Amino acid sequence: MPGLRDLGEVETLRRLAAARRAPPGTVVDAGDDAAVLRIRPDHELVATTDTQVEGRHFLPEWLDAVRIGARLATANLSDLAAMRATPRWALVSLGVRPEHDVAALIELQRGLAVELARHGAGIVGGNLTAVEGAEWYGLTLLGEVARGAAWTRHGARPGDLLLVSGHPGRAGAGARVAQRLGESARAPEWRALLEAWLEPAARAALALALGEGVTAAIDLSDGLAGDLMRLLEASGVGALLDEAAFPADPELTRAAQALGVDARSLVLGPSDDYELLLAIDPAAREATLAAARGAGVSLTAIGTLTDVPGTLELREAGGGVRAIEASGYDPFAGPA
Ligand SMILES: [Mg+2]
């Protein structure tokens, strides 16, 4: 198929629009100046946005167009999951080079739309911009939550339990293994880590399956220690993590050996896993774990919140307690 330079913006947008279907609640679809959307009575609108930049958030040699689209959907779905919102409508903004193949762009949109549709959401509009350098793909996702029912980062209290879904650290480990081993990282032994990095799934179903008792929530887009620190600061509490309680993860242990690093640094360090980190009332422990089992997602209690604001401590397997540094990913940090 021709590139954007050949087809032009209007025809490309027409083909992109023709390749998708408006989700429920769309009163006026793309094709007008703006979409008109109807939210349910007694609900609040929840909005988030995220952009993936070529060479920074994804490496084209590791991801095809469908997966790039799916990953962009996941980053946004995960933010809505962390707010307990049901995803509904998405707006796509793409900065693409004029030679970009239109068929590949439609594939990217397909990856995006399929992942959104799995959670009941869809695309209602978008925008195309020509760029010369790195391409970027942005998504704005709107969702709904019953009035007053949204989770935030700031409701956690001392004594609450800290729970995390899945296996934090795998995505970051997958990225590092790929960086270190190159093509050899495509071997079956690294598949679980590469999938965590390249094809993460948002915990949207888990968020909607949980009942009352969650006091604060955040999704892991930067890394367990870094994102936990944000929740602690927002809530004005501290945390004591229990290393012995962490989910056992032979995949991470193997990666740590191959990379010559401490497995603990992989669990706590930079990693965009899109797992959920929850603070819950201890009284809700059994009901929360049962709901997670019902949703088919592993959820593990990894620590307790303390009354020492902003401090993050780890009880090591040997019994000693030490402070840990919150090292998340900061795109603006780097050599001065
Ligand atoms: Mg987030």
pLDDT at 331: 57
Structure tokens at 332: 């603006």
Question: What band does 247 get if pLDDT is binned at 50, 70 and 90?
Answer: confident
277 Cβ neighbours under 8 A, 6+ residues apart: 162, 163, 164, 165, 217, 218, 219, 220, 224, 227, 228, 231
Tell me the mean pLDDT in the region 306-317.
94
The rounded mean pLDDT for the chain is 93
pLDDT at 60: 81
Q: Residues 177, 255: contact at Cβ < 8 Å?
A: yes
pLDDT digits (tens, 9 = 90+) for 116-170: 999 999 999 989 999 999 999 999 999 999 999 999 999 999 999 999 999 999 9
pLDDT at 55: 87
Res. 335: pLDDT tops 70? no
The least confident of 25-29, 59-63, 257-261, 331-335 is: 331-335
Round to whole Å and give the CA distance between 299 and 28. 40
Tell me the mean pLDDT in the region 271-276.
96
Tell me the mean pLDDT in the region 218-222.
96
Question: What band does 336 get if pLDDT is binned at 50, 70 and 90?
Answer: very low
Give DSSP secondary structure letters for 16-74. HHHT--PPTTEEE-BTBSS-EE-PPTTEEEEEEEEEEEBTTTB-TTT--HHHHHHHHHH
Q: Specify the DSSP class assigned to residue 245.
A: G
Distance from residue 275's CA to the centre of ligand 1 (Å)? 10
Distance from residue 219's CA to the centre of ligand 1 (Å)? 5
Distance from residue 335's CA to the centre of ligand 1 (Å)? 25
pLDDT digits (tens, 9 = 90+) for 285-297: 999 999 999 999 9
Distance from residue 217's CA to the centre of ligand 1 (Å)? 9
Res. 88: pLDDT tops 70? yes
Distance from residue 78's CA to the centre of ligand 1 (Å)? 7
Res. 172: pLDDT tops 90? yes
pLDDT at 329: 55
Distance from residue 81's CA to the centre of ligand 1 (Å)? 9
pLDDT digits (tens, 9 = 90+) for 95-106: 999 999 999 999
pLDDT at 209: 97
Q: Please, what sign has the CA dihedral across residues 177, 179, 181, 183?
A: positive
Distance from residue 276's CA to the centre of ligand 1 (Å)? 9
231 Cβ neighbours under 8 A, 6+ residues apart: 153, 156, 216, 217, 218, 277, 279
Distance from residue 82's CA to the centre of ligand 1 (Å)? 7
333 compared with 159, residue with greater pLDDT: 159
Distance from residue 12's CA to the centre of ligand 1 (Å)? 32
